[in-house]
Structure 1
Amino acid sequence: MNQAEIVAPVESGGSDLKSKSLLVISSPSPKKKFIYQRLKELGPKMILISSEANWLSKLADGFIEADPLDEVACTAKVEELVKTTKIDGVITFWENAVPLAATLAERFGWIGHSAQAALNARNKYLTRQTLENAKLSKYQPAWALIKNHLDLEKAAARIGFPVVLKPAWGVKSQFVVKLDSLDEAMKAFDYIKTNMNPSFDPIYKYGTDILAEEYLDGAEIDVDLLVQAGEVKFHAFTDNFPTKEPFFVETGDAMPSRHEDKDLSDVLKMAKDVVKALGLSNGALHLEAKITPAGPKLIELNARMGGDYLYDWIKTIWEVDLVEEASDIAVGLPCQPKRLKAPRCHLVGKYLIPEHSGVVTGVKLPQEKTDPAKVHDITVQKEPGDAVLVPPEGFETMGWIVGRGDTYAEAEENLDEALRQVSVNIVRFDSTSSLGKTRRKNRFGAAQVSRRRILQSARIEKVRGFDLGKKSLHVGILCNIYDAESGEEGAVHSDLTSVGLNIQKAVESKGHQVTFFDMNETPLPFEKIANANVDLIFNVCERINNSSLLEPHAAAILDCLGIPYTGSNPLTLALCIDKIKVKKILEQHGLPTPNFDYVFQKDEPIREDLRYPLMVKLANTDNSIGISNASVVSSLKALKDQVNHLLEKYNRPVLIEEFIEGDEVDVTIVGNESRVKVLPLSRSIFDDLPKGVWGIYPFQAKWSDNSVYEKIRIERPAKYSQKLTALISEICLDAYRIFDCHDYARIEVRVDRSGNPYILEINPNPSISTGDCVPACAEMIGQKYEDFIEEIMKECILRYRAKPPYYHLQSAMAPF
C-alpha cells in the first residue's frame, strides 16, 4: 500500500487562513518555536493562551495569561475575549493542553474534538476502557488499573512478566518502565507514585493513576494522521528503532516505512477503528503501535501532531504541512494535502542519548558545512553547562541527527558518517546533586530546582489535609524569652526574644491561634507542649539551659512528643553547630571550603601548609561569640596567641582556616524537595573599612552600635554575574541537601577576589526576625514578612504530609 495516503479533499469555500483568527494554546517549550513561526507565516491572527508572557508573545497578535491546565480560568477569560473579538477556531500542539482545546471548542462551537474524546485519548486508562467497551480488545495488550500494591500483585498474576507500568496521564515516556519481577514492580510503583506529581510535570494536575500492561514483543511503528469530520484525510508511517529498556527511551526512526504492505494495511485499519471508537473527529493525530505476531496493538494515541522531527520529515518526504493542514481543520477550511505517489527521499534519524545523567561539558559538531543531500538535520538541544537528565532522574535527550538518501541504506550510511563527526562530553553527577540544575532569570528571581530528587526521603505522616488558605491552625512558637538587660550578652538575648514575638504577630495576622512556649522556663515546658494540642510548632529555639549546644534537643523533644515542627531535624542542627564536622563533610562531598585545621588543647600541632592570613574562631558557638579583629592573624605568633586566648577564655575547640579575602555572601534557601528555591543573594562588601580592620563580622559588628563596621556595605541582590550567582546557588543547594536542611536555612559563603566561592558555615536555624537577612532576601522577591513566615509553615505541612512517622529523621540521600 502507499506509505502516505490522502482522501479526496473537501470542496474549498474560497477562504484561507489569512482571514481567520486562531486561538492557540501555547507550549512553554522553546522546542516548539518552529510551529508558531510557521503559523505566523501562514497569516492567521494568533491569540495565545499561556501561563505567562514568554518568547512566543512577540509572534502573537493577542495574549491571554492563564494556566492551560486550569480549564475554568481559561474558559472564563475566553468568555471575555469572544465578547469583543471574533475567533474562528482553537488549536494546540502541546499534549498537556489537548483537554483544554477540546473543552473550548465544545463550549464556543468551534471545530475540534469533543471534550470526552480528548480525554479518551489523553488518559491511557480511558483509552483502554473505551476500546474495551467498543469490543476492540484485539488491538490492546492485557492491562489493569493499579491503585495499590494489592492491585499490582493481582494484575501481575493475571498479565505475567515482563509487565509495563505507565502513568495514565503521562507524556514523553515519563515513568514508563518494564519490570521482570514482582519485587521490581513494587519498587517501581512506589518510585512512580513518589515522583509523578505536578512539580515534575504540570500534566499530573489531571491525575496520578497508574496502569499495568502486558509487555508487547514486536516492531514499533507510528502513524501520523489528519482527520476532518471523522474521516482520515492523510496518514504517514514512521518505523521506530528498538527502544532502550527498561525505560523505553526512543533511539531513532526511519521514514518511509519498510514494513510489508499487509502489516501497514492492518495498522491503518486499527488506527481508523481506534480513532472512531475514541470519538476523535478533527485535527492532527499521532498514534503509536506495535506490529506483533497477534496483529497490530495500540500503545497510545495522542490528539495532536507528532513531536520532534516528524513535522519536518512529513513535509520533506510527502510535501504535507501538518501545521497548515491542522490549522485549516481548526477554522473549518478544507484539509487538502498533496498526493505523492512516491516519497521524495528517505530519512533515518537517531537520538543523541547520554549513557547517564550529567552536565554537558563539550559538544563537537562537524567543522565543515554538511551536504544537505546527505545530512538532513543536526539538532543539539543542550549547550555546555546544561544539565541532561536521563532515566531514572529525567527523560531528556541531547538532540538528534538525521541522514538523507534516495534509499534507506543510503540514508543510514550518511547518518552513520555524520554520527562519527559528532561527540558530546557529559560529566556524571549524582541525582541528588544540584550542580547544573538551577535556573535564574535575573537577580530578583528565585532559583528553582528543575527536577526533584529520586526517592527523596519523605517526612512524618502526621499533618493531613491542611490548607492554609482555608483552615486556621493552632500554632505553637518554641523560642527563648529574656528580660531586658544591658551589655553585649543582653543584645544577643534581646534579638533571640524578638524573633518569637515577631513570628507571633505574623502568624496571628494570618488568622491563626498562637501559643508561646519559652524554653527559658524552669522547669522546661515539656508538659505544656504535650498538653497544648497545637497543630504544629514554629521552632526557633536557640538555647536550652542558656546553652546553644543544646539547641538540637528542642527538635528532639518535639519528635519524642510527636508534634510536627518547622525547621531542620536534631541531627542537622547538631551537625551544623559543630563547624569542624561541617568542614569535613563539605570536603568529603567535594564542595569548596577554606583549608583548615583545629585544636582542642594548647600546644597541639597545627598544619604548616595553611596559608596566612588565617581566621581563628570557636568551633561550636554562634552569634560571632569570640570573634574580633584579632581573629584574623598573619603570623605564627599571632596564631598561637589567639588560639590560646580562645581556649583559656571559652574552653571550647578552636577552628583555624585560611582567611578568604573578598566579599561575604549570605545565601538563603527556602523549601523542601522540588520546591526548594534560593532567594536573591545578600552580599557584604568590606572595601570601605579603614586600614587595619579586617573584612569580617566580629561580635562588635553584629551587637554594638556606632562601630566602625557600619561602613560594611550590604548589596541585595548581589550584583554578580549570572554564572557566578548560579554557581554560588548550586553549591549551597548541594550543602542544603547534604546536611538535610528542612524548610529554610542560611549558608555563609566567602567569594575571593578571583570570584571563587567557599562555604564557611551552614545555619539551619538562622534568625528570621523582622529586618534580619533571611526575610530581607525574601522581600527582594516581593514577599512580605507575614507571607514569608506563612510559607515556612506551608513547607512544614507539605513536608509532613502523607508519609510514615519520623521519616524526616532518616537520611535524604537514600538511592533508588
Structure 2
Amino acid sequence: MTPQVLLFVESNTTGSGMAALTAAQGLGKRPVLLTSRPGRYRGLAATGAGVVLCDTNSATALRAAVAAFPAGELAGITTTSEFYVTAVAELAARHGLPGNPPEAVRVSRDKAAVRRALATADLPRFAEVDTPDGIAGALAHVGLPCVVKPVDDSGSNLVRVCATEAEVRAQVSRVLARQVNVRDQPVAGRALVEQYLTGPEVSVEMFGWAGGTTCVGVTAKQLTGFPHCVEHRHLYPADLGEAGTTRVAGLARDVLAATGLRTGPSHIEARLTPAGPALVELNPRLAGGMIPELVRLVDGIDLLEQQLRTCLGEQPRLRAARAGCAGIQFLTAPRAGRLTEVAGIAAAARVPGVVEVRITAQAGDPVAPPDNAYGRLGFVIARGDDHAQVAHALDAASGQITVRLEAGHDRAS
C-alpha cells in the first residue's frame, strides 16, 4: 500500500499554513495536523485536514502521536512553522522519512551556532551573551553601532539596532528576560550582539535536493528605519545582474554546506556590503512575507508545493518561466492606537498592476508602528514589467489606503 498520510506538526496561523494542508490533497495525500490548539487556525475546518490533538512542545507526546499511525501509512512529516522544524527533522529521522539531519536543523535555528559553523567565512563581528556580565566584552569585540537579537527567534522579534552601550544593555536585558516564544516554547536565553552592516538587504531562496542546491531567486528588501529592522517592501527578483546574483547565491551555498542543510527550502538573508555579501540570517524554511507568492507570479513555481514534494521524497520542480517582476508593500500603523477601519481598499485594488490587497488586522485591534513582522496590518501585491513599474503601483495603491484609529486617521505607511 502506498503511504497516504502527510503529517504537519503545527503550522503558520495564516497564509501558507492552511494553503499547505490543501496543497497536500492536490498531491494525492491525506493531510493531518498535529496541534495543541486547533482554535488558533482560521480556516482549518475548510481544508478538510485531519486533526490530532497533542502537546506539540513535548517530544514525548509528539513521538506517541506519530507512533499511533499504522506502519507504512506515513508518507512524510513537515511543518510551515519555523518553531517546529527541529521537531520535524527528529521525527522524520526516527521514522526513516525524508528530511534534513536533525543536528543540521538544530544548528540552523541558532544564529550564534550558524556563525560558529561559518568561522572561516567573511562574517560580521559577533559575540554571544547569556548574562549582563558579558556585555562589556561583547562590545569591545563588536563595536558600535551593533545589532542585538535573540539567537533563536523569528519575524524580526526583539531585533534592535543599538547606537550606545546603554541601548545595548537595555536590549540584552529584554532578550534575556524572555522565557518562552510565541508558541510557548522555552527559549535559549542568549543574545547575539553583532556588528551593524551597511548596504542593501536581500534574501536568497534556495532548495536542496539529492546533494545539490538550486538558487530559485534573490529578493530585494526594504526595511523600516532605526532602531527596528522590519521588512516593509519586497521586490522579486532583485536587480543584481548575473554577477551579483552569482555572488550572493554562492554565499547561500556556503552557508548551507557549513550547516549541513541539504533537503528542501531555505531562506538566507544577506547584506550587500561594499566588501561583498555578508550573512544576516539563515532560516531552514520557506521565506515568509509572501515571497513565495511573488516567486509564483514571476517564475510560475509554487514553492509550497515543492516543499511538500521534498518531504515526500519527490524531486522538486524548480524550472522557471520568468516574466517581469512582482512586489509587496506591507501596511503599517503610523502611530499607536486602536484600529477602527482600513479604508480605500477598493480604490487600491483598482490601481493598474495591483493583483491583491489584503488586510490582516481587524477592527478593535491595538496597533502601533511595527517593531517586528507581527505588527503589520496587511499588504498590497503588484506585478509589472520592471521594478519601476511595480514600485509605482505599490506606491499608488498604498497611497489610496487610510488607517483609521480611534482618535483620528492617518495614511498607511
Question: Is the shorter-chain TM-score for this pair beyond 0.5, marking a shared fold?
Answer: yes
CA RMSD of aligned residues (A): 2.3
Kept in 1, the 8 Å contact 2:78–2:308? The answer is: yes
Counterpart of 2:129, as a letter, is: I
Query: CA separation of 1:56/1:113 partners in 2, compared to 1, >3 Å: closer, same or farther?
Result: same
Which of the numbers 55, 58, 61 marks the counterpart of 1:67? Answer: 55
- Post-superposition offset of 1:270: 0.8
Matched AA of 2:266: L
SS at match of 1:172: coil
- Gap change, CA 1:428 and 1:205, over 3 Å in 2: farther
Q: Pick closer, same or farther for the CA change 1:290–1:28 going to 2, 3 Å.
A: closer
> CA-to-partner distance for each residue in 1:156-213, whole Å, 9 max, x for gaps?
111110011110111100001111111111122222323x232x51265142211100
Q: Which amino acid aligns with 1:67?
A: D
Q: Could you tell me which of 62, 67, 70 is aligned with 1:79?
A: 67
Q: Please give the alpha-carbon distance, in whole angstroms, between the structure 2 residues aligned to 1:263 and 1:362.
A: 43
Measure, in 2, the Cα distance between the counterparts of 1:373 and 1:393: 30
Go from structure 1 to structure 2 and tell me whether the alpha carbon gap of 1:401 and 1:104 turns closer, same or farther (over 3 Å shift). Answer: same
Distance 1:147 1:126 in 2: 14
1:120 partner SS: helix
Look up the match of 1:357. 336
- Does 1:381 pair with 2:365? no
Output one character per residue of 1:514-560: Cα deviation in whole Å (capped at 9) or x when no partner.
Answer: xxxxxxxxxxxxxxxxxxxxxxxxxxxxxxxxxxxxxxxxxxxxxxx
Give the residue type in structure 2 aligned to 1:189.
V
Gaps (5+ residues) in structure 2?
409-413
| 1:162 match | 145
- Partner AA of 2:82 in structure 1: E
Is 1:103 the counterpart of 2:102? The answer is: no
**What SS does the aligned partner of 2:32 have?**
strand
**2:381 is equivalent to residue 415 of structure 1:** no
- Select 2:6's aligned residue among 18, 22, 41: 22
Task: Tell me the residue number matched to 1:403.
Answer: 382
> In the alignment, does 2:173 pair up with 1:179?
no
1:40 corresponds to which of 25, 37, 40: 25
Partner secondary structure for residue 23 of structure 1 = strand
**1:272/1:26 CA distance change after superposition, 3 Å:** same
Amino acid at match of 1:410: Q
Q: Which residue of 1 aligns with 2:99?
A: 112
Distance 2:199 2:32 in 1: 43
* Pairwise CA distance, 1:357: 3.2
| Alpha-carbon separation, structure 1, partners of 2:213 and 2:187 | 29
- How far is 1:235 from its partner? 1.6
Change (3 A) 1:74 1:206: farther
Residue 248 (structure 1) aligns with: 229
1:516 is matched with none
Q: How does 1:362-761 map to 2 (within 5 A)?
A: 362-367=341-346, 370-371=349-350, 374-391=353-370, 395-427=374-406
1:315 and 1:293 map into 2 onto residues whose CA distance is: 31
Alignment of 1:122-271 (within 5 A): 122-132=109-119, 135-136=120-121, 138=122, 140-194=123-177, 196-198=178-180, 201-202=182-183, 204-271=185-252
Q: SS of 1:335's equivalent?
A: coil
Tell me, yes or no, if structure 1 residue 331 matches structure 2 residue 312. yes
Aligned partners of 2:21, 2:323: CA distance in 1, in Å?
Answer: 26
**Counterpart-to-counterpart distance in 2, 1:325 and 1:20:** 17
- Please point out which of 13, 38, 48 is paired with 1:53: 38
Is the 8 Å Cα contact of residues 404 and 415 (structure 1) preserved in structure 2? no
Partner of 2:411: none
User: Normalising to structure 1: TM-score of the pair?
Assistant: 0.47
CA distance in 2 between partners of 1:286 and 1:69 (Å): 24
- Structure 1 residue identity aligned to 2:58: D
Does structure 2 conserve the Cα–Cα contact (< 8 Å) formed by 1:285 and 1:306? yes
Q: 1:348 to 1:28 in 2, by over 3 A?
A: closer
Deviation, 1:73, is 1.4
Which residue identity lines up with residue 50 of structure 2 in the other structure?
Answer: G
* Matched residue type, 2:320: R
Is the alpha carbon distance of 1:116 and 1:82 closer, same or farther for their aligned partners in structure 2, counting shifts above 3 Å?
A: farther
Q: Compared with structure 1, are the counterparts of its residues 360 and 172 closer, same or farther at alpha carbon in structure 2 (3 Å cutoff)?
A: same
Q: Residues of 2 paired with 1:178 and 1:368: CA distance?
A: 36
Query: Is residue 20–residue 331 contact of structure 1 (8 Å, CA) maintained in 2?
Result: no
**Bigger Rg, structure 1 or 2:** 1
Letter in 2 for 1:250: E
Higher relative contact order (CA 8 A, sep 6+): 2
Partner of 2:240, secondary structure, is coil
Partners in 1 of 2:146 and 2:231 — Cα distance?
19
Instruction: Say which of 289, 293, 296 aligns to 1:308.
Output: 289
Question: TM-score, normalization: structure 2?
Answer: 0.91
Q: Which amino acid aligns with 1:280?
A: L
SS of the equivalent of 2:69 reads helix
Query: CA separation in 2, counterparts of 1:315 and 1:356?
Result: 33
Note the residue ranges of structure 1 that are not aligned, 5 or more in a row: 1-17, 430-816
CA distance in 2, matches of 1:179, 1:65: 42
Conservation of the 8 A alpha-carbon contact between 1:263 and 1:291 = no
**SS of equivalent to 2:74:** coil
The aligned counterpart of 2:258 is 277
Amino acid at match of 2:388: A
- Aligned partners of 1:141 and 1:427: how far apart in 2? 43
- 1:243 and 1:93 map into 2 onto residues whose CA distance is 26
How big is the shift at 1:305?
0.8
CA contact (8 A) 1:241 1:251 kept: yes
1:43 aligned partner, one-letter code:
G
The 1-side partners of 2:223 and 2:37 are apart by 38
Letter in 1 for 2:324: C
How many residue pairs get aligned? The number is 403
- 3-state SS of paired residue (1:301): strand
Shift of 1:289: 0.7
Q: Which has more strand, going by share of residues?
A: 2
Once the two structures are superposed, what CA deviation does each residue of 1:281-302 show, in whole Å capped at 9, x if it has no partner? 1111111111111211111111
Distance 1:178 1:63, change over 3 A: same
For 2:134 and 2:406, locate their aligned partners in 1 and report how far apart those are by CA, in whole Å: 40
Q: How has the CA–CA distance of structure 1 residues 72 and 256 changed in structure 2, closer, same or farther, with 3 Å as cutoff? A: same
1:373 Cα offset (Å): 5.6
